[in-house]
Structure 1
Amino acid sequence: MGAEGLVAVFESELVAGLEAAGRVRNQVIGQVVALARECWERGLHNQVGMSLPTWLRVRCQWLSKQEACHILDVVRAGECDWGAALALAVVQGRTGVDRGALVARTMRRLVPCLTPEQAQDYAGIATDAAIDPQISDADLQVVCKKLLIDLLDEKPREETKDTAQALRTVSRRALGRGMTRFTVDAPEVEAALIDGVLNGPLAAPVPDKTALDEGGGLDLRSPGQRKFDALLMVLNRGMSNPGAPPSSGRASVMVTVTADPDTGKPAGAALSNTGAVLDAAQAGRLACIGDLTPIVLGEHGEPLSLGRTVRLATPGQFKALMVRDRHCTYPGCDVPGTWCDAHHIIWWCRGGGTDIAFLVLLCPRHHTLVHDKDLIATVAGSIVTWHV
């Protein structure tokens, strides 16, 4: 029926039509899962060196990335004794692939801690919930979370510790509008360490004597923002400043930027090899704190120039900055140098060199502020002056 015809349809018939369309959609996706499972068993995706979700999206361009990953979750579950009934329910269209994938992911976390009989029982409970049309998606998530909690509560204390260790995980979900949500499930001991960061001195209010916005010297950050800044500071401390213990190797990130072929001036967004899309300010920030190699592309995507490879402050230079600056050089900030980044006062992405005369210490909070507001500083001997 066209739009004009639908206007005359009664409400009950509209609802019935939507429900029927939903059943048909589940049946279609169920057939896709059945075909994908056969392709998985034959290894068709491996023959061309692709993951199953990528291979499926090449063949079925109407599939979203999330749906393709859900199909993989159900296919993998179907290979297990506990997941056979779940996969069959999805193939027959009795439940959606997203609900089946939720159960499959939950069971994969539980199975290492269960006997085969227990795995069958828990999977049966979750599968029945996924099939039941009276149970909403939100309620199904509650069922899956309750299975995890019940598993921990039923076991002896020592066994519970081992189970909690097996269930540790970090998941990532894009929220849109430039935001990403990370969910962390941590055992009690590690949770206490994280609590120490989120509720410790690094997350305490810090009056800003030279606040740029209204409010005087008050710390205008919310408690949640202060906790985030504290966590980010700890992460930066572990990943930055090579050679300054404790320290770990930074991630190597390649960023491509389209540029004017005549002037070489970057234009538009930057794209990292991990798939992140960055604006100019974000790319500049990454250039200061990460092991980044800029690659400037011409009109047709050809490399025009490669970035300098010696860019990070060396361990010796960082020690010299510790002696010279001692703490964050931003006015009014006394965060110790061990928690700071080495910032190029002439940004690396703008041609600045890695020389002690052009490096200063900045805590992560003010490092971000300096990039966001494009602030500059001058160094005279051991005196760093920020022009705010």
Structure 2
Amino acid sequence: MDDQRELSDFVRKLHHENNSKHKVIGSRLCYYSFKFNHRIYEELYEGHLHLSFDPRGPPVDVVFVKVAQEDAEIIFRRTAAVNDGVVLRPWTHLFSKQKEFDDLPEDTDLRKGIWVLCYDRFEHDLKHWTNLAKPKPKGIAYNDKLKLPIKTDDDRLNEFWCNSIRKLIDGVCNIHKEGLYHGGLGSRSNYVFIYKSLKIINIKGSLDKLTDEQCEARKKEDITDLLWMLDNCYDDFIKKVLGHPFLLKADQRMRLFDHYDTMRNCPTTAQRVNFALALSAFDNFKSWNSTSTVNNMDSFMSGVYNHSVSKKKQQKKASYSGTVSSLLRYLRNLNHHYHKHGLAAGSLEDVERGVTTHFRGFLELLYRHLEL
């Protein structure tokens, strides 16, 4: 209903026709306001949303973000459906149209009408903030002590940006777990600053009716869009994120197990690796070699697990305890055995798929705690 006035008539009709003794029909009226300047093109408008039963009650400070007509309801429903702190959920979506004042040009957006999503008032979107934060002539500077300077004196990202980017990556993964994808993370207009946090708005896509290949493509597109958007500002961090296991091929993922096991045995990095492996985040991988897990391994994985090694001219079975470090050693050995004797195992993709089946999320945890 482009004209919200139709809604009250629609609800009134439903109420009149309701003959059920077990069903209540009603509506709640809200009103809103925002200012606009018809002389400039605007993508968002600051305003107020009035939800109080008392029309003189305090309003909610909000921002109205312009969206395409065909996307308004879809974006509203999908963004509102995501339960993750990095997503700013909208109050509602609306069709807004100004009265036809004669002195307004006929092609003014608000005279023709626009669709908007209504969000809690945020400070800036990232596009606007980036322009504010650009170096200015001497004596004119944008003062944002939380976010600036982006890099510290030792050339590292400051704490706000490190934490924000980690949360963004986790948040995008959670969006995917909800069966959705964003579809517009390459645009800085879809990131906003609110309550000292960087959040995402305007989620558009659904994975429901896509094939597995299409789902993976959309997920990777979201991640690469996120990286592209950040690329110019955060080179060092981006290089690390580009090495995230999610974006790697099977052989690269398997080589990471080798890399982390080497770190575990290196005097300069062993303490850091062992500290990470002792974190509660890895608790699900303790007792990884339970009887049921080993019995369900394919022949190649179980063959490596039960492999006999030569020691002082005697055959001795390689033993693995149920510790997390032992799992890392096993996966390192799995990679080595494949490259030496792996023809019977099929492709390395098959081996990596088996690792993911039995130890899903282990490599990603290693990466998060040892790289980021």
TM-score of the pair, normalised by structure 2: 0.28
Q: Structure 1 or 2: larger helix share? A: 1
**More relative contact order, 1 or 2 (CA 8 Å, 6+ apart):** 2
